[in-house]
Amino acid sequence: MSPLLTIMTLLLSIAMIGGAWVAIRSFSLPMAILAAGLVSLLASVMFLILAAPDVAMTEAAIGSGLTTFLFFFVLGRVKGGEDD
Amino acid sequence: MVLIVMSTGFLLILMGLYGSLTNRNILRMIVSFTVTNTGVNLVLISVGYMPGRTAPILDETVAVSEVAQRIIDPVPQALVLTAIVIGVGVTALMLAYAYRLYETKGTLDISQFTELKW
Amino acid sequence: MVSPLVLLGTPLGMAFLLGMLQNRWRFASYGITLLTMTCMSLFSADWVLGFASGSLVATDFSTAGAPPPFAISLRMSLTEASLILLVNLAGLFSTLYLKEELLRIGRRGMAVLLIDIMALCGIILTRDIFNLFVFFELVVISTGGLVLLSDDQRAPSAGFKYLIVSQLISVLLLIGIIFAYHSTGTLNIDGMAAASLGLLKGGALAFFLILIAVISELKPFPANGWALDIYESAHPAFSAIFSAAASSAALFAVAKLLPMGGESWLPVVSSIGLVSFLAANLFALCQENDRRLLGYSSIAQTGLVLVVIGQQDILGERYLFIAGGILLAHAVAKAGLYWLSGLLSNRHLTAWTVLRQSPLLLFAFISFIALLVGLPPFPGFYAKWELVHLLAQEGRLAILGLVLLGALVEAGYLFRWFGKVVKRSDGGEEAAVFSVAPIKTLVVFAAVAGGWSLGYLWGQLSLFDNILHTIPVLFALGFLLLERFPVWLKNSLAIVGLVSYYLISYPAYDPMQLIFGTVILIGGGVILLASYSVSGRRMGFYPSAMLMFAGLSLLIEAKDSFHFFVAWELLTIGSYFLILRGKQSEPHALSYLVFSLGGAFLILAGFALAAEGVELFPLSSLSQVTADKAPWVFILLAVGFMTKTASVGLHIWLPGAHAEAETDVSPMVSGILLKAGLYGLVVLLLGMGKQQLYGVELTHVMLWIGALSALLGNLMAVFQEDAKRLLAYSSIGQMGYALFGLALMNHLGWLMALMFVINHYIYKSMLFLSVGGVAKRTGTRLMYQMGGLITLMPLSFIAVLIGIIAVSGVPPLSGFGGRWIFYNAILTAEYRLPIILIFLAGPIAFLYLFRLIHTLFLGQLKDEHRQIKEAPFWLIVPQMIFVACLMAFALVPGVALRRFDLYLNQFFPQGGLNWEGVSITSQFGYWSPVSIMVVVMVIFASLLGWLIFVNRKAQKVKQFNMVFAAERPYRPETTHFAWNFFAPYKKALGFLIQPLATRFWGMVMDLLHTSADLTRRFYTGNGQTYAIHLLAFVVVVYLFSMGSL
Amino acid sequence: MIKRFFVLALLFAMGLLFTDLLLSYTPDTELNSTALYYANHTAKDLGAANIVTAIIVSYRGLDTLGEVTVLFLSAAILVLVLPKGWRRGKRKPRILPSTGELLGTGSHLLVPLILLLGVYLFVNGHLTPGGGFQGGAIIASAALLLLLTNPLQPFSRHLFSVVESIAGLCFVVIGLLGIVYAGGFLDNRLLPIGQLGELFSAGTMPILYSLIGLKVGAEFSSMLINLSETKDS
Amino acid sequence: MNFEWIQIPYSLLTLFIVINYGLLLNAFIAKIAARIGRRHGIHLFQNHIDLIKNYSLRTSITHGVMFYLGPVFRLGGGVGLLLFVPTLYGSEMFSNLSFSGDLILALYFVFFGALGMALGAGESGHPHAAIGVSRGLSQMTTAELPFALAVFSVSLQYQTLSITEIVSLQQGGFLNWTLFTNPLAVAAAMLSFLGSMMRPPFDVVLAPQEIPIGPPTEYHSSYLAMMQTNRTIFPIAKIVIYMNLFFGGAASWPVFFLKVFLIYMVSVFVGVVFPRFRVEQSIRWFLIYAVPLGILSILWV
């Protein structure tokens, strides 16, 4: 276990937590969705570090990519609802 | 390192839950749930991780004979794969529901959908 | 046998196939769906039969050609097979039921339905924990889809709430699974159990998470708001699946997982179940929406099964029988009720009154309710019996008590509902529509058939006899088939049945049974003569009446506690239906039922406590109950029986129930049914004798209760304005006498009690019949609205006259015999104080009896009654028979009593009577009924004769020759002499009859309702709040279980 | 505010629970029995190089079947959930701002490549990282790209459902054939397992994974299309 | 003790003696009361004359069957009560028909007449009748209670229910009387006695009859005669029971006449002293004063 890897993990973790904070508390809903996608993307990097390439690919493609788009499709339809 | 990832995972779960239980906007709740799901996936993977080993794929670097000493546990990875896909299925469904609810009331505030109670 | 994998694969494949079809081939899609469901049901039925016949053993099926721990495996055994049969049948019938909706929604909906059913089977079959998770998710998602089958606009919000909660659940489940895997190195449930997960480091926590997640799928209180919303808004056919199939599958999952955690988790599961059971039943009290009520009831029943699962450590090999009994009964009943609710357009409970248009549907309804409540002969009854016994055997009395309490509340609201359905007039503004859909109706009846066959099956499987094999019960049920025939036919058949059953069985009776048996069977036959006066078909009367008689006759034949209790329940139900038939009787029938069932549960608990694990506990072994338990058994049983005899404090059900019942029903329930309680007390006292608790002699307490009942019953009767109510209260008093006699625990006391059995039957039946006849003719039961009927209804008058002379104990009629024995009995009694109450009670009887005869038959004839005729012929016939009986019994009481007197010698050798010729001597005094009769008659006849002779030319004075006129006041009845007849008496003694008991029970009910109404408000309807509830539930259980483990 | 506080308290308790788990966790140093079995037997018995794939497609194939069913369900229910008027609006022709030359041309260029990548991923799923799910998602992204360039892009919904259903049916049928002709449900030894590392090896595994890929791709695409199709805006 | 035909004429003889004594007693008391009021009072045989006159009157009025039954029950009750109780102790001749039953029979037969009267009066359809009956019955329930308690106490004391035996156990000096061996029971019984004698202060029951159009107006001629006969017999029959139970009985007619007279006078004196009670007052009075005495007497034994 190289210290470099550990530091990277730590940084990633901090970034993810920050992202998650934005995702749950951000004023703007699109921002929140993007932040959630970002958390997902960072997670997939984490999965790579944790020697799980299959999962990493899936998370990147589905968790961060597809889901985000699903969100935006719906977001585009709910006028005025986003601020409730 | 594993512990860092795992605590991050747990923290994400808690944050996601907090978000989904305090945001009244349905879409925000769903966003929070995706954060939670990511956290769960992180925890799952970190449980299976073993330091100094490689991915459970046989290739040039991992010979069949020494595979048991070289790879990490493949099972959690398989589980997470399934979990991710199921998660996205549920998310999609919730999103569709969110729209349906929005259509009926013109709002996404969960506290407005309380005709059924008691 | 079809591999279970095919069972999962086929519906899945068909679902995929449906996805491919054209949208417009709707009927083809529906056909495929139906066919698939049918095949699945047949396949699983095949498995069940295979296991049941013993030709198969439990087998594991592995996948992927790898052995179980490494690949997912499925298990098939009898339990799994039965459950998937249940699931598939629920699916099949719901598919049939949903025909229109499915055709409207199209192939996608059908595919979702197929997958839902498949996933439920998967939950049952799989032995892999992650696979379990996958199937759970499938169920969640398909539920999310199927909720939309409903027309209800609110359904989507319910579905969304469910999705939110299921997200939480899946988080918990996944984390639990991965840590469990980490601890044990396997995902196989059996593997985890073998590695005893619960004991490993971190394993307990992991197991906790898994368990709590799966339990959350069971909608435990309080984390179940979402489920209620789904129940309320979803399509009933889906709710049927959701309640019957999904809950069963999840329950099985819990049962499957529990071995992983070890026995220490069982109490946790039990507690959760118990809390759910109680709370859900409590909340259901306040529900007005039918589907939501059913939802609460589902949650409660699931909780009950959870309790059973949590108690599996003591249930041993009966575990499956008990859990299965409750589970299957609930599933069938709930599915049936939901299907039934789909036939109605209005969601208010009272809208179900339209069911009255169809007797068959009404029968279905009551069958389902009986299934839910666990009345005999349904599986829940057998299951509850064994559960309670095993709990008592292991000393888990708190659980026992709470389970019975919950069951009582449940019976309360379900039967309240039934009462409303049968009796309420249709609501008015929103008259419910009642759709006649042959297929849907068929589906409902499939459930009915299922319920009854389960009842039969469980009877066969039980350790005891099958209730459905006993002749009286079959006879009663047979009347269901005869419902179309006219009354005279059914009535004759009923009388013949009663009498011939008596003729068959009386040689085997001992004198005690003989007295009760004669009163019940022959007495019942005589009262039934009065039923000839009813014309038409009289739907529902004969099955109920015969059920009551079946219960009564089985009761006196019972040799062991099981048969005794079965009979007790049967007669309770039968009489409930009978009482409910009265016009205004709905609330009274309900309180009768609730008190009776409460009493029955006490009896059940008493027997269970006494049995100590003996399977078939003979009643004669009551004497061998260990000393530390005996007083408690005594109290439980005695209070149970005293509920039936309406002893004071537990009496509030009686007046309404007896007074509001139909004319020929009142004598049955008063003259005959009350004797069941006395018989119970006789059995109890013969078996257990005197018991002491903390130095208090319990029979002494009974003595006081009896005396108080006699006094207060009589006193309350005095102040009634309603003639039948007056008679009803008088029954309380009379039963008090009998109870007093039994509690004296000496020879003459018992003789007196037995004499009361006969006497009370005769004169109370007679009085109820004649008063009923009068009420029928005049159209009122209020005494101040009657009067002067003597010339119009002379025969009824004679009956009442003889009746009241007999009741009051004035010589020469038979009532005096009772009093005479009574005085002799108390001379040897150990306790003197309660006797004073009895003394006071005696003359009070005069007051109400006089009022009865005076205000009905004497005084001024009312204008509107001038054209009244004598009561119908068939009402008079039994009355005249009773008059003859009273006379005969007064002259020669020895006919009935002598044998019994001898019989009593074996229990109380001291103090018997001497029967010499016509006179009867006791240790203190003597009595010669014949000479009294002769003397009185001679004096009477000579005086009367002379008077008639000297006044032979007298003319009758018209009544208006003596009435003075006055201004007609605003409330005319207040000036009538019969109104508030004993007003000064009330001023003096009114304080004694403050309705304390009524107030007390009213307060209990109010408290229950108010608390239920307040607490249920925490189901705010907000999905987020529900999620918080779930989280709070998890945390609370976590804190508790971690604290206790 | 009270609610928020309450939630925080609850989450704090949950946090304690998680901490408990965290503290009781010790990383394994050796593979546990299950993992060891997979490590030792996958190559030999199933002939797959990617153990995760072997687990997903074969050992835990039933899970995967459930998983694709989840997607199938979601896609099907999506149609049911979305309000009735959702699709009708598309009859009204709308004038949309042009999405731009670059995106239009780029997408036409990219879509075949993306599709190819997707297919490559799931065909090689048993050998390299990636497989049906990833490949399916990537195929769906091609559809997404087309949607983004032209929101009014006509898609043959029926084509998707046919692909989806046939893939699903084949999956089930192959699985069931395994019971008859091989060791059990979804046993990949229905076909010869061949040589480790070759494309046509590992029995039915590549076929199954491809079916999964097709199915997932079709389902994701139809989900995206269903959600994107507009009513009136 | 078995039935023999000779007992019938013996009983009738008892009846005859008691009727005559009763008529004279009533007239005597009326006379005393009149003299105290400085009036001349009735002739000593006035009651005889009235009775004979009434018996010989004819009426053409009836109110129905029950109307007949009123007096019949009433008088039947009085006669029966008298005949079921041995009049003279130790006399075969005057023990009447007491073989039919014991103390309990007497205790319950008291109600026979009351019941019949109530019914008969009711048949007249007159409201006052019902009012009188309801008052009477109300009062009776509590008035009889102390008596019942005393009877119970006495039978406990002597361990028998046979009146003859109770009397025989009181022989041998007046100190053996229950009056002295069980004073509480006697006290209770005597209070009850006041209530059942239809004299002040417990005669509000009769009030409706005092109104000119009350039941006696309807019951006239031979009906009235029968009721008058009963008025004569019944108090004495009751006093006989008291005498037997509490005052050592009577072995000969003179003792009998004396004891009956004295016991009767108790109620007369009390009646002169106290004003009328209302019904609820008398009920309370019995419950408060008489019943506790009865209870004590039972506990005492």
Q: What is the CATH number of the domain that holds B84?
A: 1.10.287.3510
Give the separation between CA C954 and CA C952, rounded to whole angstroms: 6
Give the residue, C928 or C406, on which the prediction is more confident: C406
Is 80 exceeded by the pLDDT of residue A80?
no
Give the separation between CA C841 and CA C820, rounded to whole angstroms: 15
Give the per-residue pLDDT at C961.
55
**Cα dist. C518→C498, C523, C574, C672, C761 in Å?**
10, 6, 19, 10, 11
Chain A CB contacts of B31 under 8 Å are 23-24, 29, 32-33, 36, 71
Residues C170/C137, Cβ–Cβ less than 8 Å: yes
From B11, B52, B91, residue closest to A67, measured CB to CB: B91
Average pLDDT over residues D182-210: 76
From C853, C954, C984, residue closest to E135, measured CB to CB: C984
Give the separation between CA C437 and CA C443, rounded to whole angstroms: 10
pLDDT digits (tens, 9 = 90+) for C174-217: 999 999 988 888 888 888 888 887 777 778 888 999 999 999 98
CB–CB contact D176 C62 (8 Å): no
Average pLDDT over residues E20-38: 88
pTM of the model: 0.89
Q: Does C816 touch chain E (CB under 8 A)?
A: yes
Residues C233/C275, Cβ–Cβ less than 8 Å: no
Largest CA distance in chain D: 65
- The residue whose two tokens read 């309490």 is C405
Residues C896/C889, Cβ–Cβ less than 8 Å: yes
Largest CA distance in chain C: 115
Average pLDDT over residues B14-20: 92
pLDDT digits (tens, 9 = 90+) for C939-951: 889 988 888 888 8
Scored b (16 or more CB within 10 A) or e, C973-1010 reads eeebbbbbbbbbbbbbbeeebeeeeeeebeeeeeebee
Q: What is the DSSP string of C247-269?
A: HHHHHHHHHHHHHHH-GGGHHHH
Is 80 exceeded by the pLDDT of residue E105?
yes
To the nearest whole number, what is the mean pLDDT of chain D? 79
Give the separation between CA C829 and CA C838, rounded to whole angstroms: 13
Q: How far apart are the CA of A12 and the nearest CA of chain B, in angstroms?
A: 9
Q: Which of C442-451, C563-572, C879-888, D109-118 has the lowest mean pLDDT?
A: D109-118
Average pLDDT over residues B25-52: 89
Long-range contact pairs involving D29-34 (C-beta distance under 8 Å, separation at least 24): D29/B50, D31/B50, D31/B68, D31/B71, D31/B73, D32/B73, D32/C184, D32/C185, D32/C186, D33/C69, D33/C185, D33/C186, D34/B75, D34/C69, D34/C70, D34/C185, D34/C186, D34/C187
Give the residue, C912 or C95, on which the prediction is more confident: C95
Give the three-state DSSP class for E275: coil
Question: Where are the extended beta strands (E) located within C802-872?
Answer: none
Q: Which of A80-84, C796-800, C898-902 has the lowest mean pLDDT?
A: A80-84
pLDDT digits (tens, 9 = 90+) for C266-323: 888 999 999 999 999 988 888 888 899 999 999 999 999 999 999 988 888 888 899 9
Residues C616/C559, Cβ–Cβ less than 8 Å: no
Which residues 128-157 in chain D show a CB within 8 A of chain A?
129-131, 133-134, 137-138, 140-141, 144
Residues C836/C843, Cβ–Cβ less than 8 Å: no
Residues D66/D58, Cβ–Cβ less than 8 Å: no
Is 60 exceeded by the pLDDT of residue C656?
yes
Give the per-residue pLDDT at B35.
92
Task: Choose from C41-45, C801-805, C828-832 the range with maximum mean pLDDT.
Answer: C41-45
Task: Name the residue type at position C503.
Answer: L
% residues pLDDT > 90 (chain B) = 28
Is 50 exceeded by the pLDDT of residue D98?
yes
Burial class of residue C401 (count of CB atoms within 10 Å of its CB; 0-12, 13-18, 19+): middle
Give the separation between CA C831 and CA C829, rounded to whole angstroms: 6
Give the per-residue pLDDT at E1.
52
Preceding amide of C812 cis, omega within 30: yes
Q: Given CA atoms C118, C120, C124, C130 in this order, what sign does their dihedral have?
A: positive
To the nearest whole number, what is the mean pLDDT of chain B? 86
CB–CB contact A53 D133 (8 Å): no
CA-nearest residue to C162 within chain B is B94
Give the per-residue pLDDT at C724.
92
Domain assignment of residue C970, yes or no: no
pLDDT digits (tens, 9 = 90+) for A27-67: 888 889 999 999 999 999 988 888 888 888 888 888 888 88
Give the per-residue pLDDT at D96.
57
Burial class of residue C201 (count of CB atoms within 10 Å of its CB; 0-12, 13-18, 19+): exposed
Q: For residue C421, give every residue at least 6 positions away whose Cβ sits within 8 Å of its Cβ, in sequence order, or none.
A: C349, C350, C352, C353, C355, C356, C362, C365
Band of pLDDT at residue C970, cut at 50, 70 and 90: low
Average pLDDT over residues C593-611: 92
pLDDT digits (tens, 9 = 90+) for D23-34: 888 887 888 888
Domain assignment of residue B91, yes or no: yes
**Cα dist. C349→C412, C416, C418 in Å?**
14, 10, 9
Give the separation between CA E255 and CA E237, rounded to whole angstroms: 15
Q: Does D74 touch chain A (CB under 8 A)?
A: no
Is 50 exceeded by the pLDDT of residue C964?
no
Q: How far, in whole angstroms, is CA C819 from its chain's centroid?
A: 36
Give the separation between CA A84 and CA B18, rounded to whole angstroms: 18
Average pLDDT over residues C1011-1030: 85
Residues A69/D144, Cβ–Cβ less than 8 Å: yes
Give the per-residue pLDDT at C853.
86
Band of pLDDT at residue C433, cut at 50, 70 and 90: low
From C835, C847, C957, residue closest to E137, measured CB to CB: C847
Give the three-state DSSP class for C696: strand
Please state the domain count of chain B.
Answer: 1
Give the separation between CA C235 and CA C147, rounded to whole angstroms: 7
CB–CB contact D51 B56 (8 Å): yes
Boundary of a domain, candidates C911, C942, C973: C942
| Number of other residues whose CB lies within 10 A of the CB of residue C938 | 13
% residues pLDDT > 70 (chain C) = 97
Domain with B25, as residue range(s), is 2-51+68-112
Give the per-residue pLDDT at E93.
81
Phi/psi region, residue C428 (left: phi>0; alpha: psi -120 to 50; beta: rest), is: left
CB–CB contact B118 C1021 (8 Å): yes
Residues C1039/D13, Cβ–Cβ less than 8 Å: yes
Give the residue, C1044 or E76, on which the prediction is more confident: E76
Scored b (16 or more CB within 10 A) or e, C172-182 reads bbbbbbbbbbb
Q: What is the DSSP string of C392-420?
A: HHTT-HHHHHHHHHHHHHHHHHHHHHHHH
Residues C209/C263, Cβ–Cβ less than 8 Å: no
Band of pLDDT at residue C768, cut at 50, 70 and 90: very high
Chain E CB contacts of C847 under 8 Å are 134, 137-138, 141
Is 90 exceeded by the pLDDT of residue C862?
no
Give the separation between CA C506 and CA C500, rounded to whole angstroms: 10
Domain assignment of residue B86, yes or no: yes
Give the per-residue pLDDT at C574.
92
Give the three-state DSSP class for C914: strand
Give the separation between CA C1025 and CA C378, rounded to whole angstroms: 39
Q: Which two tokens stand for residue C247?
A: 């809950």
Is 70 exceeded by the pLDDT of residue D93?
no
Average pLDDT over residues C567-590: 90
Between vectors from CA B109 to CA B106 and to CA B110, what angle results, nearest 5°? Answer: 120
Boundary of a domain, candidates C942, C973, C993: C942
Q: Which of B90-99, C749-758, C995-1004, D144-153 has the lowest mean pLDDT?
A: D144-153
% residues pLDDT > 70 (chain E) = 94
Q: Does B18 touch chain A (CB under 8 A)?
A: yes
Is 70 exceeded by the pLDDT of residue D207?
yes
To the nearest whole number, what is the mean pLDDT of chain C? 87
Q: Which two tokens stand for residue C370?
A: 């009986």
Residues C757/C516, Cβ–Cβ less than 8 Å: yes
Give the per-residue pLDDT at D89.
46
Give the per-residue pLDDT at C967.
44
Q: For residue C264, give every residue at least 6 positions away whose Cβ sits within 8 Å of its Cβ, in sequence order, or none.
A: C198, C1045
Give the separation between CA C396 and CA C385, rounded to whole angstroms: 15
% residues pLDDT > 90 (chain C) = 36
Average pLDDT over residues E160-174: 87
Average pLDDT over residues D153-181: 81
Strands C692-693 and C696-697: antiparallel
CB–CB contact B43 C166 (8 Å): no
Q: Does B68 touch chain C (CB under 8 A)?
A: no
Residues C976/E84, Cβ–Cβ less than 8 Å: no
Give the per-residue pLDDT at C849.
86
The partner residues of C348 in beta bridges, in order of sequence, read C289
| Number of other residues whose CB lies within 10 A of the CB of residue C263 | 11
What are the φ/ψ torsions at residue C344 (nearest 5 degrees)? -110, 150
Prediction ipTM score? 0.84
Is 80 exceeded by the pLDDT of residue E253?
yes
Domain with C108, as residue range(s), is 1-127
Give the per-residue pLDDT at C957.
67
Residues C306/C406, Cβ–Cβ less than 8 Å: no
Domain with E158, as residue range(s), is 7-300
Band of pLDDT at residue C251, cut at 50, 70 and 90: very high
CB–CB contact E134 C977 (8 Å): yes
**Cα dist. C801→D200, E67, E119 in Å?**
106, 14, 9
Domain assignment of residue B59, yes or no: no
Band of pLDDT at residue C707, cut at 50, 70 and 90: very high
Chains A and E, touching by 3 or more CB pairs within 8 angstroms: no
Please state the domain count of chain C.
Answer: 2
